[in-house]
Amino acid sequence: MRNKLGLFLLSITSFYTSADWLDVNMPVGVTDISKEVFDLHMAIFFVTVAIGVIVFGFMFYSMWRYRRSNNKKPAKFKENHKLEILWTVIPTLILVAMAVPASITLKKIYDHEAEEGGMDIQVVGWQWKWQYKYLDEQVGNKPLSFFANLTTPPDQYEYNRVEKGENYLLEVDEEVVVPVNTPIRFLITSNDVIHSWYMSDFAVKQDAIPGFINVAKTTINEPGIYRGNCTELCGERHAYMPIVVRAVTKEEYDEWVAEKREAMEQLAFLTEKEWTADELYAQGEEIYKTRCAACHQVNGAGITGFYPALAGSEVVMNDKTGQIEILMEGIRGSQMQSFAEQLNEVDMAAVITFTRLAWNNDKQGDGTIVVPKDIVDYKKGDL
C-alpha cells in the first residue's frame, strides 16, 4: 500500500518535469503521403482558426460594445438579404478550395496497384495480436509468417507494480521488418472481430474486417522504428495489441529474411529432440505469460463469466488429447482461438505441458506431459 502511494507521488512529480507537454500535433510522418496529409491537416486547421478568429472576434466585440449599460436602445432589424447571400457564398468557396486538394490526395492514397519491385504483406488482426505474412518470401511451401504479441509485462500495467519502460504498451516480440524506398502493400484483414491497423507515421489507418481484405499502400522514406496501435474497439485487450514496424535498408532486410529462414529450419531439429518436463515447463511458462495469461490469468483462475479457469480444469488435468485439440482447433463461438498457426510444435507442447503441471494440476490430475512429437502426430492425424 505504502509502495503504491510512493509510486503515485512519484508519477505526480515526474509529471511536471516531463517534456511531453509539446506533443500536441499530428506527426509529419515518413512517407510522401503522410507529408501531404500533414499539409492538408495544417491547411484546414488554419482555415478553421481564421474562421474562428473572425466570427468570435466580431461576436466578442459586439457583446462588449452593445452591452446594456453602453447601448440602451437595441436596433430592430431582422434580416439583410445581401449579407445572408454573402455568408452562404463565401463559406462555399472556402469549402471548394479545401475539397479539391483533399480529393487529389485521396485519389493518390487510393492507388492500390501492385508496383514493380514492391512487396505484399498480409496483416491479420486477432484478439489481441497481429499476424504478418510476407507473401513474397516463401519458406518451404508457406509464406514467411509470424505473430506480434505485446511484450510489456503485466507488472508494468497492472497496478503499476514496477516502473514503466520507455516503450510502455508500444513494444512487441516480433517487429515487422520492411525495406525502405519500396512500395509495400499491406493487405489487411481479420480472423475474429474488427480491428484497425493504425500507423500514424505512414498516415495509414485501415480497418481489419473478417471476410474483407483492405489495401494500404505505403513507401517508407526513412529507416527507423515506428510504433502504432489498434484503433477499433476489439474487446478487452484492445489497448494491448501495438504495432511495431522497423524500416531498414534493402541489404539489412535481406539479412533478416535469411535469419528467419534459418530459424524455421532449426525448428525441425528441435521438434525431434528429446525434451524433459523441466525444459518444457520453463519454455511453456514464458509462452503462457504472453499468449494465455491475458484471459486465463497468470494464476490460471480465468475470469468468471468470460474466461474459464485452467487451474483445476478437468480437460487440463486428465484429457491430454482433448487439450491438444482445443489449442489446435479453438472453440467455435467463443474467444478461444486456434493456436495452430500461432505456435510452433515445440511452443505448443511446452505451453500445454506448463498448464498440466502448474497450479497443482499435476497433483490433482494425471500429470502427463506433452512433447513436440505429440503435436506433430496430431497434425498427421496419428494422435
- Distance of closest approach, residue 320 Cβ to another protein, in angstroms: 28
CA dihedral 253, 254, 258, 260 (to 10 degrees): 20
> Which CB sits closer to another protein, 76 or 363?
76
> Which CB sits closer to another protein, 44 or 139?
44
- Distance of closest approach, residue 335 Cβ to another protein, in angstroms: 7
CB 215 within 8 A of CB 188: yes
C-alpha to C-alpha distances, 57 to 52, 63, 261, nearest whole angstrom: 8, 10, 65
- Distance of closest approach, residue 38 Cβ to another protein, in angstroms: 8
Dihedral-angle region of residue 193 (phi above 0 means left; psi in -120 to 50 means alpha; beta otherwise): beta
**Contact partners, residue 295, CB within 8 Å, separation at least 6:** 236, 302, 303, 306, 307, 335
Strands 204-208 and 176-179: unpaired
Residue 21: asked if its preceding bond is cis (omega within 30°), the reply is no
CB 137 within 8 A of CB 143: yes
Which element (helix H / strand E) includes 375? helix 372-380
> Which CB sits closer to another protein, 166 or 251?
166
- Distance of closest approach, residue 333 Cβ to another protein, in angstroms: 7
Using only C-alpha atoms, the chain has a radius of gyration, in whole angstroms, of 28
> Which CB sits closer to another protein, 107 or 380?
107
> Which CB sits closer to another protein, 1 or 75?
75
- Distance of closest approach, residue 180 Cβ to another protein, in angstroms: 21
Residue in the block written with cell 480497418: 207
Which residue, 251, 123, 141, is CA-closest to 184? 123
> Which CB sits closer to another protein, 97 or 282?
97
- Distance of closest approach, residue 382 Cβ to another protein, in angstroms: 29
> Which CB sits closer to another protein, 226 or 359?
226
> Which CB sits closer to another protein, 63 or 282?
63
CB 206 within 8 A of CB 229: no
Q: Is 311 helix (H, G, I), strand (E, B) or coil?
A: coil
Compute the distance between CA of residue 198 and CA of residue 208 in angstroms, rounded to an integer.
10
> Which CB sits closer to another protein, 159 or 263?
159
User: Grid coordinates representing 246?
Assistant: 522497423
Would you give the DSSP letter of residue 165? P
**211 class by beta-carbon count within 10 Å (0-12 exposed, 13-18 middle, 19+ buried):** exposed
CB 287 within 8 A of CB 346: no
